[in-house]
Structure 1
Amino acid sequence: MGTTSDAQRSLAVVWEAIAEQFPDAPAHIQGERAYTWSQFDQRADGIARTLLDAKASQSDRVAQYLRNSPEYLEVSHAALKLGIPAVNSNYRYKGDELRYLWDDADVTSVVFHGAFTETVQGLRARLPRVRAWIHVDDGTHDCPRWAIPYEQAAAAATGRTTGPWGRSGEDLFLLYTGGTTGLPKGVMWRTTDFLEQTNDVSRPHYDIDDLAGSVRRTLREPGWSHISASPYMHGSGLFGAFMTMHEAGCVVSLAGTGFDAAELLRTIDAHGVASLAISGEVFAGRILAAFDAEPGRFEGASVRHVLNSGGMLSEAAKRGLLTHWPDARILDGFSSTEGFGIGWSLATQGDIPPTGLFSPGPNTRLLDESGAPVTAGSGAVGRLSVHNRLPVGYYKDPEKSARTFYAIDGVRSSVPGDNALLLPDGRIQLLGRDSLCITSGGEKIFTEEVESVMLDHEAVADALVVGVPDPVWGQVVSAVVNLRDGRTATAADLIAHVKERLAGYKAPRLIAFVDLVPRGPNGKADYQAARVLAEAARSGPATA
């Protein structure tokens, strides 16, 4: 039996071993395009070889300005092969936002879909550090003269590629997150920690001390097929794909440029997809609407596992999804980029837990202001912390790192700023982040506590809660709501619904009804836009 050296503690080793064991098994599918595991590995070698120009160093970073696609995952693999970070880039960002992100991340190469050519063209002169631009043909723009065609790059290697500096378990895996407020910040993971985190939550658990050998001994057949409906550019979508690849499964990417629930359901049936990643009500609502629009068209019999992360799911949404996917389990995961595994909630057709309640992970603690553990059932608001495998910190921001990652009772912990209650049965009730806390009349109101109650109203499709400035109260609780098709409810109805379950001061005083609650493509709440809509509703009808 071999021993995995520090240089081999990487997901790249797992994927290279899978490519050797199941070379002809499907790895990635998008529309009419399909790649086997050997092709995936070889194409990633080609991208890695292209990135290794004369000036290449271990300080390089490659930006992924890409929609969900096989290329996104190939670039991820190429970066891991070289031991350099791949930088996830929000494809909704405009020029100045991208310039900030790529400058902050010290990006030296950019891989971009053709649809983004004009934006990239406008940034080239403002990013002198970038040496290579690689164009992925999506049928929209021809490859410009200043860029390298992706297919040329993918064919550049003649064998397995690594950087001349070698790999190390200390290499950075970088995930940029915009959070709910503020500028994007890079969360730094060591590749060995990210490997072990993936290994812990995936179905096969390999021996980290003999990684390649353990893959060969453990896997007897390829794994299941998976679709991340949420974007790979965000952690929840990417992690769902990585978990599937960890077991030699096949990741299916939707072909459309936006989320089309009917396309998702067609693709699930076409490929027998067993696993799905979504992000909250914005995805669940559209999936249920697609089922309702064409009764009997979609089967979904293959679905066994639904991973939800990045946005809460109401009881009604879970019940609706499990009606169509009766053999599935919905795992509602509560995590952050700064610390995985804070809590989870498991729903099956016969057991659907209340919205916003989670079982804490084994490394999760709820602490009061003095740092002491909160007593179950005390009603005291505590702050969630998680320990064990954690990020190194925020990229190039030691001050912010020190505020989030610090020792508690001698144990290094991550404290992202989430508040919760510890219920008598040991579950945690999520309340919301410090940055979103509303202070009204001297009382603190946490947004997600109110949102979870509003989402359980039968007429509500989606809701966000924000604080709007008020000369008397300081702030007033306000909600931005869109209703389910065919359902009606007044502001008074929704306010009364909240007051049935929460203290009266937590109920919204103002409700703006909109056609669409503002969220990003990953389902993450856009609280700044919601606040604008809520303030506009004071003087007239709000519009999305």
Structure 2
Amino acid sequence: MQWNYADIYEAIAHAMPDVPCQVQGDRSVTWGEFDRRSNAVANALIAGGFRPETKVAVYLRNCPEFLEIYVACFKARLIPANVNYRYEHDELVHVLSNSDAEVVFFDASYLPLVTRLREVLPKLRRFVVVGDAGPLPPWAESYDAIIANNSDAKPNTGRLGEDPLLLYTGGTTGLPKGVIWQQDDVIQALGTGGNFYLGEPPCADIDEILRRLDHSGKRIYVACPLMHATGLFTSLTLMNVGWTIETTASQRFDAAALWQVASDHRVNALVIVGDAFAQPLLAELDANAGAYDLSNLQLIISSGSKFSRAVRTALLKHLPWLILSDNYGSSEALRGVQTYSRGDTIPEDAVIAHSDVMVIMGDDGRLLDSSVPGTRGALLIRGHLAVGYYKDPEKTDATYVTIDGTRYCVTGDFGVVEADGSVRLVGRGSSVINTGGEKVFPYEVEMVVRTHEAIADAAVIGLPHERFGQVVASVVVLRPGAALDRTGLADHVKRHLAAYKAPREMFVLDVIPRTAAGKIDHKACLAAVQAMTA
């Protein structure tokens, strides 16, 4: 059969309508309410004349409405597209324009910014405000009014497993690119109704999902943004097994508050992004371990950035019954996981369990025998993959290749097969910077840095960082007589790009190292910085 999220969630809502589906602070939305509210939004969009495959931008922080809107789109056969709420004007214009969005749901606090966006994005024709923004302009409408004024009956739209969603991620030039996923492929890549993260087998159909349902309302606390693949796909996957999604409205990561919620609400799982989240959580446990009852916590999931060995070891020391799930994947290919329990040997490097969807390709483009220890090469994923990049056939052809009749995703990662059959990651084929789970592409930041009047030339590199994995650093050449410090440069970048892309370090050189072809030599830049700081 082909899977569609809306079909699964409707069946679960009918089976346990009074069990919480979404929780944030004092707000709780049951499965029955979630089903009816998403129906109302879907019916409003259908009544508004939006036809299947119309793009709907979701420009929200974590909130119960986020997933309601996604499911409403699935019910109406519209295509939801995530929008990074950290983006500033130029980035937002690109995503909303590139996606061909005709509808945008946005947080009330973004009304001034959306007012400006509306002036330059004529294709957008419906604007829905989530939250209390006070009196609204005539071109905007309230999400609560949509819920109140539209039928909550099931819309009959003839759903298909092929119905897509659009997931925006960074591109090789730094411009966000939309990855097209069919719902059936996402669901099958992530466990087909089984709890992928706990190793449960897939389900054959919705009836089997319903037979396995745990009506106790198990909870996962999603500490990372729903607008990223980690938060979104983890939430959708655990909703497939009837779990409750809990989030916080806070814009600041607070380790003590997170542990308090996990203790008070008897949270069963937690999803975070690598050491950037885990280190503050560990520091809080070190200081106040006895303050929290975490006996219900079974699982901590990390995706987007892997745990270091020290963090894995420390988490299992504090919580010896825990299962740690280090997930390997990207917005383009979703499979690959390594789990750890107490007593396991914790490797120094990032390691993933080998699976039948993973292969290794040599430098000559031929597939290698990945069962042989020591085999080294580029990691490719097969099986249920994304359709490709929206409106970018060149990037699609470069990322998705067909070898001997089988379609693969070229992940950009390189690995070596270990003696136990696992694959140790040894690097990436690009200069992407991963800072706390956020991807930063040097080219994009370099273009902005060079617009500063004091700068003659610039390069951007990633420097190692204990908590965030890497931080953004800029290597600059100043114009004669000019002066600039790191704060001034960071402020300049923040006026154009998201704050996490702003350099945290700045180093001044006489000349930026370049290759014979004139391209920036990022390795030489890094070596120069290392020599300066040695």
TM-score normalised to structure 2 length: 0.79
Work out the CA distance in 2 between the residues paired with 1:383 and 1:540.
28
> How far, CA to CA, are the matches of 1:374 and 1:386 in structure 2?
14
Number of the residue aligned with 2:410: 415
Match of 1:507 in 2: none
Aligned partners of 1:542 and 1:22: how far apart in 2? 62
Q: Which residue of 1 aligns with 2:167?
A: 175
Does residue 90 (structure 1) correspond to residue 91 (structure 2)? The answer is no
Select the residue among 248, 252, 262 that pairs with 1:268: 262
Residue 353 of structure 2 aligns to a residue whose secondary structure is: strand
Q: Is the 8 A contact 1:366 1:422 kept in 2?
A: no
Superposed CA deviations along residues 338-380 of structure 1, whole A, max 9, x for unmatched, are: 1111x32222122233331221222100110221315666756
Matched, 1:30 2:30: no
Q: In structure 1, how many angstroms separate the alpha carbons of the residues matched to 2:214 and 2:351? A: 37
Amino acid corresponding to residue 148 of structure 2 in structure 1: A
| CA apart distance, 1:465 | 13
Separation of aligned partners in 2, 1:222 and 1:73 = 21
Please state how far the C-alpha of 1:53 moved relative to its aligned partner: 3.7
Give the AA of the match of 1:69: C
The structure 1 residue matched to 2:102, chosen from 108, 120, 123, is 108
Is 1:425 aligned with 2:420?
yes
1:56 aligns with 2:80: no
Alignment gaps of 5+ in structure 2: 447-458, 468-485, 488-497, 510-525
Give per-residue Cα distances to partners, 1:162-211, cap 9 Å, x unaligned.
Answer: 365x3222211221111675211111111221222234473266655x43
Letter of the 1:214 partner, please give it. E
d(CA) in 1 for partners of 2:508 and 2:11? 55
Q: Which string of whole-angstrom CA distances, capped at 9 and with x for unpartnered residues, describes residues 491-531 of structure 1?
A: xxxxxxxxxxxxxxxxxxxxxx99xxxxxxxxxx9997569
Please point out which of 75, 78, 86 is paired with 2:72: 78
* Gap change, CA 1:379 and 1:531, over 3 Å in 2: farther
Is the counterpart of residue 480 in structure 1 residue 474 in structure 2?
no
Q: In the alignment, residue 139 of structure 2 is paired with which amino acid? A: W
Q: What count of residue pairs does the alignment treat as equivalent?
A: 468
Cα distance in structure 1, aligned partners of 2:417 and 2:72: 43
Equivalent residue number for residue 187 of structure 1: 179
Unpaired stretches in structure 1, ≥5 consecutive residues? 438-446, 456-463, 470-475, 485-512, 515-524
Q: Which amino acid counterpart does residue 176 of structure 2 have in structure 1?
A: P
Instruction: Write the distance in 2 (CA, Å) between the matches of 1:58 and 1:110.
Output: 16
- Give 1:198's aligned residue: 190
Matches within 5 A, 1:18-417: 18-137=12-131, 143-162=136-155, 164=157, 166-178=158-170, 182-200=174-192, 202-203=194-195, 207-208=203-204, 210-211=205-206, 213-219=207-213, 221-341=215-335, 343-351=336-344, 352-370=346-364, 371-373=366-368, 379=374, 381-417=376-412
Across the aligned residues of Structure 1 and Structure 2, the Cα RMSD in angstroms comes to 3.6
1:434 equivalenced with 2:417 (yes/no):
no
CA 1:130–1:224: 2 relative to 1, 3 Å: same
* CA distance in structure 1 between the aligned counterparts of 2:146 and 2:21, rounded to whole angstroms: 19
* Amino acid paired to 1:158: S
On the 8 A contact 1:345/1:353 being kept in 2, the answer is: no
Pairwise mapping of residues 524-535 of structure 1 onto structure 2 (< 5 A)? 529=502, 533=506
Q: Secondary structure of 1:340's match?
A: coil
Whether contact under 8 Å (2:431, 2:441) holds in the other structure is no
Q: Could you tell me how far apart the structure 2 residues matched to 1:247 and 1:83 are?
A: 22
Amino acid at match of 1:249: W
The answer (yes or no) to whether the contact 2:214–2:242 under 8 Å persists in 1 is: no
Contact 2:59 2:104 in 1 (8 A): yes
Change (3 A) 1:542 1:101: farther
Distance 1:50 1:307, change over 3 A: same
Tell me if structure 1 keeps the 8 A contact 2:377–2:414.
yes
**Offset at 1:74?**
0.4
Cα distance per residue 1:251-308 (max 9 Å; x no partner): 1111312222111111101110011111111000111122234342222221101111
* Contact 2:192–2:203 under 8 Å retained in 1: no
User: 2:59 touches 2:84 (CA, 8 Å); kept in 1?
Assistant: yes
State TM-score, norm by structure 1: 0.78
